[in-house]
A and B are shown apart, each in its own frame.
Chain A
Amino acid sequence: MTEFWLFLIAGVIAVSAAALMLLSSNAVHSALFLVLTMAAIAFLFLLLNAPFLAMIQITVYAGAIMVLFLFVIMLLGSEQGESEDAFASRRPFRWFVPVALTLTLSLLLAIGLTISASSGSESSLQTVPPQNARLRVVHAAGDAGIVDVQLDGITILEEVAFRDDSGYMELAPGAYTVALVAADGTTLTQDVSLLASSVGTLVAYSDDAGLRLGFAAEDLDTVAEARSGRLVVFNAYPEAPVVSLVDLGSEFVENDTRVIAENIPYGASSLPLVIDEGDVDWQIVAGDATLDGIADNVNDDLAALSRFEVERNSAELVVVTRARTADGSPTGVLLPTTLLLQTMARPSFGGPEAIGYLLFTDYLLPFQLLALLLLAAMVGAIVLTHRQVTPSANRIGVRRRVSRPLVNVITAQVGHDVTDEEVNRLPDDQPQAVGD
């Protein structure tokens, strides 16, 4: 409710300032009212979760542009630019004011009617539309060949090999059927239900019975606390019913062992973990990792996350699975291994980081064009305001006028006018008079 009141106050300020700008006869006043409007709009930007735009609004608009306006108004002395009243009916434009008002009002009416008419419907602006979900597929079955991935019967990926992942696909929320088609034609299907703005990974793993599919829920939102990343562990190792992620600590320090995540069952994932950035030296061990058992089963570790770097704003998915040695040849021994799938976390909405990211990816070309436009505008402004400077007549012959008084100086020092003979009798160390 506070937000609504803030919105209302800011809106009223903006509208009334705009109206005053329109009605004020003094241009300086108009400009100041416009500044006020812009400030109110900047505040509304903040309410709209757009802090970066709010800052730009203040600096560029209220700061730069309006100062420029004021500067020009002052420069031209056009505070009272309109000699007669704005609404005075001049003969040729007697029809003008009513027509303009009619048009504007019709515009207002049309849009307002549309908005009010659409309330309650699907396209209503009063309800927030559901956000898309993100889904990716990872091939983590070390003893299976390449597979094709089908979504609702439509092949979306072909020939996905071990350790490959599809990257995130944006999907509307809802129920989907994902199917894996192996090279020999066997098909594994799995129903997936995607919630709005959820993020998850479908992990394809295998045990002796064949291919399986598991879903690991992830969270890509930027953590509120900076300097931390997120980690999800998925257990796809058939021979361990449960696995745990433990920090064994230093060899030289007693009782510093701690469990990061425990009892991750086969075919399931841990919750998204928030971990401070920095290098860690963790182990993934099989079994129920009670603190006592860990010490006993140190040698049972399936895989080690040694010197594992947790990066800021990153989201890590660790899949514990098995792969054949000898580079995955079919005859190799199946050994436990880990797949590390790292993605960037999503930056916060409306922040400078998000906008900068978009500017340098999707909008790079318009950004460049905009830069060119600004350059052209700069040049244009300079050219338009450049005054044709004609060399002043005073500057012509400046040397002569500078030189001439030197004679006077000398005359003053000598006491009388310098004659030609005296010029010839100048001392030898002053061979010539230095003029300018």
Chain B
Amino acid sequence: MVQTDAYIILSLVLFVPGVLGVLLRRNAILVFMSVELMLNATNLALAAFARHWGSENGHLFVFFIITVAAAEVAVGLALIVAIFRAKKSINIDALHQMEG
């Protein structure tokens, strides 16, 4: 049986590209996909912990995260579509009207 820490390290390694994608990519869709990647990495860690402690609660949280992610993607993509309609671009660097 593969030890839990291996899964945790793997989840961490998967998390890092997600973070970098959010920080560095300019395509809004890609930013979103990076967010999904981070969520998946977290899911992996949660599942590993659930096995480690013999409790299905971790699975439940994975389930919830997947559901929330689905909702988030629906709304987020709708936002992107709306933004694209308005600005003909989904470059997030083009969106800085909120600057103080």
Contact = CB atoms under 8 A, between A and B. Distances in A.
Interface of A: 3-4, 7, 11, 14-15, 18-19, 21-22, 27, 30-31, 34, 37-38, 41, 44-45, 47-50, 52-53, 56-57, 60-61, 64-65, 68-69, 72-73, 75-76, 78, 81-83, 86-87, 90, 96-97, 100-101, 104, 107-108, 111-112, 115, 119, 124-126, 128-129, 131, 197, 349-350, 354-355, 358-359, 362-363, 366, 370, 373-374, 376-378, 380-382, 384-385, 387
B25 A374 contact: no
Contact of B37 (A18, A115, A359): A18
Contacts of B69: 61, 65
B90 A384 contact: no
A354 B58 CA distance: 12
Contact of B77 (A69, A115, A370, A378): A69
A68 B33 CA distance: 11
A116 to B, nearest CB: 8
A108 B59 contact: no
Contacts of B14: 14-15, 18, 37, 41
A53 B62 contact: yes
B37 A48 contact: no
Contact of A81 (B2, B17, B77, B91): B91
A76 B90 contact: yes
B95 interface: no
A30 B25 CA distance: 11
Ranked nearest first, the 3 interchain pairs of A and B with the lowest CB-CB distance are A81-B27, A377-B71, A384-B78
A56 B82 CA distance: 29
A384 B82 contact: yes
A53 B47 contact: yes
A44 B32 CA distance: 23
A126 B9 CA distance: 12
Nearest to B80: A72
Given A22-B25, A350-B59, A355-B56, A48 B17 contact: no
A90 B2 CA distance: 44
Given A53-B47, A97-B24, A81 B52 contact: no
Interface residues of B, number: 70
A384 B75 contact: yes
Contacts of A119: 5
Contacts of B48: 48
Given A65-B73, A384-B81, A104 B4 contact: no
Contacts of B98: none
A43 B73 CA distance: 23
B13 A101 contact: no
Contacts of B3: 125-126
A81 B51 contact: no
Contact of A377 (B1, B8, B33, B72): B72
Contacts of A376: 71
A30 B56 contact: no
A167 to B, nearest CB: 19
A22 B17 contact: yes
Contacts of B62: 50, 53
A11 B37 contact: no
Given A65-B69, A78-B27, A126 B33 contact: no
B51 A78 contact: no
B68 A373 contact: yes
Contact of A57 (B56, B66, B67): B66
Nearest to B23: A100
A221 to B, nearest CB: 12
Interface in B4-59: 4-10, 12-14, 16-21, 23-30, 32-34, 36-37, 40, 43-44, 47-48, 50-54, 56-57, 59
30 contacts: A7-B6, A11-B13, A14-B10, A18-B14, A18-B37, A21-B37, A44-B10, A48-B44, A53-B63, A56-B66, A60-B67, A65-B69, A69-B29, A73-B29, A76-B84, A78-B84, A81-B27, A86-B26, A100-B24, A107-B16, A131-B54, A355-B59, A370-B64, A370-B68, A374-B67, A377-B72, A380-B78, A381-B74, A381-B77, A384-B79
A48 B33 contact: no
